[in-house]
Every structure is written in structure tokens, then in C-alpha cells.
Amino acid sequence: EAAAEQDIFDGAIAADERIEPRDWMPDAYRATLVRQIAQHAHSEIIGMQPESNWITRAPSLRRKAILMAKVQDEAGHGLYLYSAAETLGVRRDELLDKLHAGRQKYSSIFNYPTLTWADVGAIGWLVDGAAIMNQVPLCRCSYGPYARAMVRICKEESFHQRQGYELLLTLSRGTPEQHAMAQDAVNRWWWPSMMMFGPPDDESTHSAQSMAWKIKRHSNDELRQRFVDASAPQAEILGLTLPDPDIRWNEERGHYDSGPIDWTEFWDVLAGNGPCNDQRLTQRREAHENGAWVREAAASYAAKHAAGRGE
Ligand code: 3HC
């Protein structure tokens, strides 16, 4: 019986068919999807903090409206992804408890501070740019609900990336001080953005299995290379330099070469020692506690409403 179900599952994966919530799936397939989707959702929610830091200080109403829309989008992406995770049989409050207890991760990138307004541009251009590189292939992920959530999320991410690029272009072509502010932000966000794609392939614990299950369609290093290939020419148009002196076009490879990444910094941030880890989790826990009354009110309304319907 189980062997037959495993064969059906393996056949579906091999035929590039979607696995849906009611299909049989190996426990390990379910577990790795819960791990990845939950941590993706946590990243979106925590990712609201660095940018919301600048909503009240945006330089114009137009920039404020764009930034508010983007931060609201991130919240929506998080809720979308928690819903995708729930189709695998986990509860949202369980996942949030794990985040708050440090037992589930969120993207390393959000443990860095947003020191100037130009950081909002660097995050849009580089962080959302890296997210798009990683999320477009996820639209073809073998698990249906996750792949479908990605289609909608990728459309909104491209708006996020374009507004960041345009913000940096405006600063870069502005006064010398504005150009310097944009360059400083790129200098601080480039390497952490390169780390977003995960450890090098030979240190990636999940890649082989995730690629066999067609959850991950390209390796960490492949997507990182695509990100460098896209960012280097854009930096030239922006009139900004990437803080990696080894970046240069390699005709033979048909790609840009780039310099070594400081993986000790990456593993240090994952261990909780990044510049903002404590601040991000503290703010997240406080937001959760301060929002308890909303959850209780919604739950009691739902219960009363259900009673009214005689359910
Ligand atoms: N930050 C934190 N943890 C990371 C990480 C990062 N940048 N990169 C890897 N890790 C963790 C992995 O989660 C894994 O730890 P775990 O076993 O406790 O989960 C460990 O490091 C080993 O890495 P692997 O390469 O083996 O792990 P994966 O196969 O899961 O690959 C990944 C990592 C590429 C991030 C993959 O999980 C993925 O594609 N996730 C979905 C995309 C995502 O989460 N993006 C977050 C970016 S933020 C965002 O999208 C918001 C946007 O609006 C900016």
C-alpha cells in the first residue's frame, strides 16, 4: 500500500506534476516544505521592520505612499505563505511560537540596520532583486499551494525592485551628498544580499533533496550567479559601484566573476549575532503580544457568529 503511494508520488514528481494538499506525500517532503514556507513567511513579516523604520521620515508624500504600499505587501506575502503552510497540516500559531522561541529562522538579510533613507532604495533594488531571483523558480515548485502563492508574490516583488532602483537612480543623479548616501547604502547591503541565497552549494544541507523533489529548481550558487549577472550592469547604469573589486565580465564563462563571500559573517548572523537579531525578535514578540486582543476579538466574534448560524 505505502509502496504504491510512494510510486504514485515519485511518478508525479518525475512528470513535473503538482502535489496537492490531499495527495499522499513522504513525511520528509511535508516537513521540508513546512520548514521552508514557514521561514519564508517569517522573513516577510520580520522584513517589514527595517523599512517601516523610514515610513514616518520619507522625503516626500510620493515616497511615503510607495513605501507604505511595499510594507503592506510584505505583510500580505507573509499571510499568504502562512496559509500555504497551513495546507500542510500545521497551525499558524505553532509557527509563530517557533519563530518567537528562535526555533525557526527568518532571512539573515533583515538583521541589518537601515541607517539612511538610501537604504530603502538599496533594499528594494538588491534585497527584493535577490528575492525575485529566488522566487521566480519557486513558481514551478512541485507543491501546488506554494507555487501558486509565488506567482502573485513575484508580481508584487517586481514593483518592489523597480521602486528601489528608481529611488537609487534619483539619489545617484542628485547632489554629491545624495550620491554618496546611495553609494554608502549599496556598500552596506551588497554582501548581505549575496548571502540571502544561502550557503555555498557544497555546504547546503537541503539542496540535493530539495532539488530531487523539485522544490528547489536551481542551486544556491546558480541563483547567486544570476543575481551578480543582473546587478553588475544595473550598478553601471546607476552610476554606483558594487563593493567587490573582483567583479568583472568573464567572456569565457559568459558570467561576471565575483569575489569571496565572508561566510563566517553569514553563520554568525544565523547564530543570532547579527547587528539587529535581538531588536527584530523583541519587536516581533511585542507586536504579537500587543495584537492578542485582536485575535481574541476575532475568535469570539467567529464563535458567536457560528453559534448564531447554529453551527
Ligand atoms: N537566512 C537564514 N537562514 C538561511 C539563509 C538565509 N539567507 N540561507 C540558508 N539558510 C538556512 C536554511 O534555512 C537551512 O537551515 P534550516 O535547516 O534550519 O532551515 C540552512 O541555512 C542550510 O541552507 P540550505 O541551502 O540547505 O537551505 P534551503 O535548501 O532551505 O535553501 C533558501 C535556503 C534558498 C533560503 C530556501 O530556503 C528558499 O528558497 N526559501 C524561500 C525563499 C525565502 O525564504 N526567501 C527569504 C528572502 S526574504 C523575502 O523574500 C522577502 C522579500 O520581500 C524581500
Q: What pLDDT does residue 81 have?
A: 98
> Taking all residues of the chain, what is their mean pLDDT, rounded to a whole number?
96
CA dist 9 to 25, 192, 304, Å? 6, 37, 42
Angle at 144 between CA 140 and CA 147, to 5 degrees: 40
257 bridge partner residues: 248
Look up cell 554568525; give the residue. Answer: 268
Checking if the pLDDT of 310 tops 80, the result is: no
Rounded-to-5 percentages of helix, strand, coil across the chain: 70, 5, 25
DSSP-derived letter for residue 17 is: P
Give pLDDT tens digits for 125-152. 999 999 999 999 999 999 999 999 999 9
Whether the CB of 36 sits within 6 Å of ligand 1: yes
Checking if the pLDDT of 309 tops 80, the result is: no
Checking if the pLDDT of 187 tops 80, the result is: yes
Out of 204, 213, 222, give the residue to mutate to test ligand 1, the one with the largest number of ligand atoms within 8 Å of its CB: 204
The model's pTM: 0.96
Percent of the chain whose predicted confidence (pLDDT) is above 90: 96
Give pLDDT tens digits for 242-300. 999 999 999 999 999 999 999 999 999 999 999 999 999 999 999 999 999 999 999 99
The ligand 1 atom at the shortest distance from the C-alpha of residue 36 is 37
127 with 193: CB under 8 angstroms? yes
**Beta carbons within 8 Å of 176's beta carbon, 6+ residues apart:** none
Q: What pLDDT does residue 307 have?
A: 76
Q: How many residues does the chain have?
A: 311
Residue located nearest, by CA, to atom 19 of ligand 1:
35
Whether the CB of 207 sits within 6 Å of ligand 1: yes
Buried b (16+ CB within 10 A) or exposed e, 207-241: beebeebbbbbbbbbebbbbbbbebbebbeebebe
Whether the CB of 285 sits within 6 Å of ligand 1: no
CA dist 246 to 193, 232, 235, 258, 276, Å? 17, 11, 14, 5, 29
Q: What pLDDT does residue 1 have?
A: 73
Give pLDDT tens digits for 75-88. 999 999 999 999 99
Burial class (CB in 10 A: 0-12, 13-18, 19+), 100: middle
Give pLDDT tens digits for 194-213. 999 999 999 999 999 999 99
Give pLDDT tens digits for 20-51. 999 999 999 999 999 999 999 999 999 999 99
Q: Which is it for the CA torsion 281, 287, 293, 299, positive or negative?
A: negative
Q: What pLDDT does residue 311 have?
A: 62
